[in-house]
Amino acid sequence: MIAAELVATGTELLIGRTVNTHAQRLGRALSPLGIALERETTLRDDRPAIAAAVRAALTRSQVVFVTGGLGPTCDDLTREALADALGRKIVRDTAALSRIRARCVRLGQSMTDSRARQADILEGAAALSNSVGAAPGQRIELGGGRVLLVLPGPPREFEAILAEHVLPWLRGHLHAPVAPERILMVCGLGESDVIERFAAAGFDPAPLDLAYCAGPGQLEVRLTGKPGEESVVTSAAARALAVLGDHVYAESREDLVAAVGRRLEARGATVATAESCTGGLVAQVLTSVPGSSAWYRGSIVAYANDAKTSLLGVPADLIAAHGAVSEPVARAMAEGARRALGTDFALATTGVAGPDGATPEKPVGLVWWALADAKGTVARTRRFPGDRDLIRRWTAQYALDLLRRRLDGTA
Amino acid sequence: MIAAELVATGTELLIGRTVNTHAQRLGRALSPLGIALERETTLRDDRPAIAAAVRAALTRSQVVFVTGGLGPTCDDLTREALADALGRKIVRDTAALSRIRARCVRLGQSMTDSRARQADILEGAAALSNSVGAAPGQRIELGGGRVLLVLPGPPREFEAILAEHVLPWLRGHLHAPVAPERILMVCGLGESDVIERFAAAGFDPAPLDLAYCAGPGQLEVRLTGKPGEESVVTSAAARALAVLGDHVYAESREDLVAAVGRRLEARGATVATAESCTGGLVAQVLTSVPGSSAWYRGSIVAYANDAKTSLLGVPADLIAAHGAVSEPVARAMAEGARRALGTDFALATTGVAGPDGATPEKPVGLVWWALADAKGTVARTRRFPGDRDLIRRWTAQYALDLLRRRLDGTA
């Protein structure tokens, strides 16, 4: 493995304003390339401290990432700190400057000195164009095969330059032996459930490395072998797939909503949603997929009870008899949305997201969701753990998974 | 300010498995105590590297936190690394051992050697009892007023020991002068715009520290002085507020949606939404606020054009004449949502979120949004930068800001 480290800059990372997600993103992206992220150092916007940390990192690691401090303001000091650390001059990149100028025209902003400063890079650096922001990234190749990779702090810009420029370059220029890996994306089971199922089936993935990455309502199960163990990993993955069955919704790293969209598109089917406790989240997740207008038609977010009646046709006496968080109301909401929006499928959610609104019979986290299609309506319930945000995210994922299973013929 | 730093240990933090949230939590908790988190170093479970990092941290900072590596498994090495760093012996804490034994009985686990190991602390350390897990934290007071605070890695246990033992002790034992700070939350201006306005008004905040933290559609502007400079910071903040005017939506750290909810609640007013390009995001953001059911009634996410007609009453010939992304359609959507949901206010959004659907006249990022109330309907337009996700988030924020301005009487 090739050693890498990250120097993350930004006072906002150390005063409680922002969670630094770059180490996680880099760790995940570098491992398959045979590069090990060994250390992260987070610093305030302090020029001498940044320069010293970069110098120290270059003595330890072949690949050094520096993030943040490339913006237009006076607390953006990374360029100057790198000039100090490497003893190089700062130069203005003409291509980056043209892009920033064009961006200002497009956005109706004036081209100021502070904006122009974002085109500054180190002498000898390759500017890595930023497709979603102003400041370019930089790649600085140093003696002894060492490389310094400088990326903007905002996650979107960091991600764009990482994916478009840095990872392709690392793949082409560093030749570390790659560990074979297989991924199973799972919905409806947690880590402990997967471990229990593997144990019950007598499946022991050792000596392969088994790792998990859990998000609300989806779990990545990753099997990694040593370089050359391709066939061992392939047969272990087939065994794991057999054990986990229809809980697996994809065999590569893919969000559940993308897997659902792929299936709807292939079938030429349409979907609508009716939401209460999720308050638009299911719609927002579905429409986050580019091209979703091919299969998504709309949502009725009926947060107030009389909106459930007037917009979705849920009988008021049904709500009075069972309460808004109930199986009959979830079913009626799904059927109402399918009718109102004229789709093949409709999903509905209703639940107690908290922190208020709970009763002894209906505690915080209790949710019903339903799916209506031409064959009828199915409903599911669960009590989800966590706070308001987490309960809503769990609900959206389980609702999407019900649609995924219906499309796969397993629900 | 007293200098603090964090040494976070755990291979899972560097291979993409876990996001490290300790720096954020600590930064937020320490600032009000006059303690500045200056640096975070994240390391793998590597005994010599951890020992060296702790030694280096103690040369720089009066308060050093070490997290992780206190569990029962062979990769939990923090105790040994600290013994190396400080040249102290490891001892077994009898009170901690009793608690671990009682915990095993309660959970039906057997008391193994590896579990007992979690009661090990450094000689001379105060054990900080863990109310939600097994391993205690440790407080080690060193010469020169320095203190080493050792906490478990799992966020629940970290948080419990931090809140129950560490913060109370720091409050009682360290008397740091607190740096005065003022915050202005801004919508509708970027960092460069704020800088330009300050310059145009001849307002130079120096020698105060001026910092920014930007999110899509909201910007935190933070002025910080030295301890004792309370009145300097207050008058600079008043000047900044006068320059930025009605772009400032709050004078403390608050998300725009919370500021909008606060105003709606105070006035007893209700709001509904009609969404096209944002696809439910405005609804989801509004309902992310606990208690939003007091003022939020629902949304019609009319993603397909005929849903705009059937559910919102937007005339089909209006869409045919102007296109779905147009001022007349945005206005008709807002008025339709206000009618359908019977609210005081209704917001509507329609735009080209991309990557598809653009035309020469209507490029990616072009958005119209509108607000309808009893006094009439206002509409705004803008072309937002970035990708689909960012365009949608900008749109949601600007739509919320239009409502905020209407509630403030400035739109």
Read off the pLDDT band of A18 (50, 70, 90).
confident
The pLDDT, as a whole number, for residue A357 is 86
Is the confidence at residue B4, as pLDDT, over 90? yes
Q: Is B302 an 8 Å CB contact of chain A?
A: yes
The residues in B 82-141 lying below 8 A from A, measured between CB atoms, are none
Q: Is A211 an 8 Å CB contact of chain B?
A: yes
Amino acid at B173: H
**How much of chain B exceeds pLDDT 90, in percent?**
72
Read off the pLDDT band of A349 (50, 70, 90).
very high
**C-alpha distance from A298 to closest chain B C-alpha (Å):** 5
Q: Is B196 an 8 Å CB contact of chain A?
A: yes
DSSP B233-245: HHHHHHHHHHHHG
Q: Where are the alpha helices (DSSP H) in B174-315?
A: 191-200, 230-244, 256-267, 281-287, 305-312
Q: Is A357 an 8 Å CB contact of chain B?
A: yes
Three-state SS for B354-410 is CCCCCCCCCCCCEEEEEEEECCEEEEEEEECCCCHHHHHHHHHHHHHHHHHHHHHCC
Q: How many CB atoms lie within 10 A of CB B310?
A: 17
Chain-wide mean pLDDT for chain A?
93
Strands (E), A22-146: 35-43, 63-67, 90-92, 120-122, 126-128, 137-141
Are the Cβ atoms of B389 and A26 closer than 8 angstroms?
no
Minimal-distance CA residue of chain B relative to A118? B192
The pLDDT, as a whole number, for residue B397 is 97
Q: How many CB atoms lie within 10 A of CB B273?
A: 35
Is the confidence at residue B212, as pLDDT, over 90? no
For residues A74-87, give the mean pLDDT: 94
Q: Is B341 an 8 Å CB contact of chain A?
A: yes
Are B218 and B187 in contact, with CB atoms under 8 Å apart? yes
Is the confidence at residue A112, as pLDDT, over 80? yes
For residue A59, the chain B residues in CB contact (below 8 A) are none
For residues B95-114, give the mean pLDDT: 85
Q: Is B20 an 8 Å CB contact of chain A?
A: yes
**How much of chain A exceeds pLDDT 70, in percent?**
100
**C-alpha distance from A140 to closest chain B C-alpha (Å):** 23
Strands (E), A30-93: 35-43, 63-67, 90-92
- The SS3 of residue A380 is strand
Are the Cβ atoms of B17 and A388 closer than 8 angstroms?
no
Tens of pLDDT, residues A173-216 = 987 777 888 999 999 887 778 888 998 999 988 888 887 766 77
The pLDDT, as a whole number, for residue A384 is 85
The pLDDT, as a whole number, for residue B257 is 97
Read off the pLDDT band of B163 (50, 70, 90).
very high
Is the confidence at residue B250, as pLDDT, over 90? yes
- The SS3 of residue B214 is strand
Residues paired with A139 in a beta bridge = A126, A149
**C-alpha distance from B233 to closest chain A C-alpha (Å):** 18
CA distance to A358, A388, B254, B287, per residue, from B284 (Å): 20, 12, 17, 5
Read off the pLDDT band of B20 (50, 70, 90).
confident
CA distance to A65, A292, A293, B361, per residue, from B357 (Å): 37, 11, 10, 11
For residue B205, the chain A residues in CB contact (below 8 A) are none
The pLDDT, as a whole number, for residue A110 is 84
C-alpha torsion angle, residues A278, A282, A284, A289 (rounded to 10): 160
Is the model more confident about B28 or about A309? A309
Which domains are assigned to chain B?
2-173 (3.40.980.10), 181-250 (3.30.70.2860), 256-408 (3.90.950.20)
For residues B390-408, give the mean pLDDT: 96
Read off the pLDDT band of B109 (50, 70, 90).
confident
Are A47 and A76 in contact, with CB atoms under 8 Å apart? no
For residues B280-294, give the mean pLDDT: 95
Cβ-proximal residues to B371 (8 Å cutoff; 6+ apart), any chain: B334, B345, B346, B347, B348, B377, B378, B379, B399, B402, B403, B406, B411
Which pair of structure tokens corresponds to residue B235? 């008058």
For residues B312-329, give the mean pLDDT: 97
Tens of pLDDT, residues A283-316 = 999 999 999 999 999 999 999 999 999 999 999 9
**How much of chain B exceeds pLDDT 70, in percent?**
100
Which pair of structure tokens corresponds to residue A396? 């959206």
Residue A278 to residue A400: CA distance in whole angstroms: 12
The pLDDT, as a whole number, for residue B227 is 84
For residues B234-256, give the mean pLDDT: 95
Tens of pLDDT, residues B331-352 = 999 999 999 999 999 999 999 9
DSSP A163: I
**How much of chain A exceeds pLDDT 90, in percent?**
73
Choose the closest CB to A114 out of B195, B287, B354.
B195
Residues paired with A224 in a beta bridge = A181, A209
Q: How many CB atoms lie within 10 A of CB A84?
A: 17
The pLDDT, as a whole number, for residue B16 is 77
Tens of pLDDT, residues B351-385 = 999 888 899 899 999 999 999 999 999 999 999 88
The pLDDT, as a whole number, for residue A207 is 84
Q: Is A381 an 8 Å CB contact of chain B?
A: no
The pLDDT, as a whole number, for residue A191 is 75
Are the Cβ atoms of B39 and A44 closer than 8 angstroms?
yes
B231-249: buried (b, 16+ CB within 10 Å) or exposed (e) per residue? ebbeebbebbeebbeebbb
Is the model more confident about B102 or about A327? A327
Read off the pLDDT band of B133 (50, 70, 90).
confident
Which pair of structure tokens corresponds to residue A210? 């088994």
Q: How many CB atoms lie within 10 A of CB A323?
A: 16
Edge-first strand order for the sheet with B181-186 is: B209-215, B218-224, B181-186, B248-250
The pLDDT, as a whole number, for residue A263 is 97
Are B295 and B269 in contact, with CB atoms under 8 Å apart? yes
Which run of H or of E encompasses B105? helix B94-107
Which pair of structure tokens corresponds to residue B17? 């498995």
Amino acid at B234: T
DSSP B305-369: HHHHHHHH---HHHHHHH-SSSHHHHHHHHHHHHHHHT-SEEEEEEE--SSS---SSS-TTEEEE
Q: Is B322 an 8 Å CB contact of chain A?
A: no
- The SS3 of residue A103 is helix
The pLDDT, as a whole number, for residue A74 is 82
Is the confidence at residue A385, as pLDDT, over 80? no
The pLDDT, as a whole number, for residue A98 is 95
The pLDDT, as a whole number, for residue B111 is 85
Single out the residue of A115, A136, A129 nearest to residue A73, CA to CA: A115
Are the Cβ atoms of B40 and A42 closer than 8 angstroms?
yes
Which pair of structure tokens corresponds to residue A184? 């199973």
Chain-wide mean pLDDT for chain B?
93
Is the model more confident about A379 or about B28? A379
Does this model's pTM top 0.90? My answer is no
Residue A324 to residue A17: CA distance in whole angstroms: 37
For residues B386-410, give the mean pLDDT: 94
Is the model more confident about A113 or about A178? A113
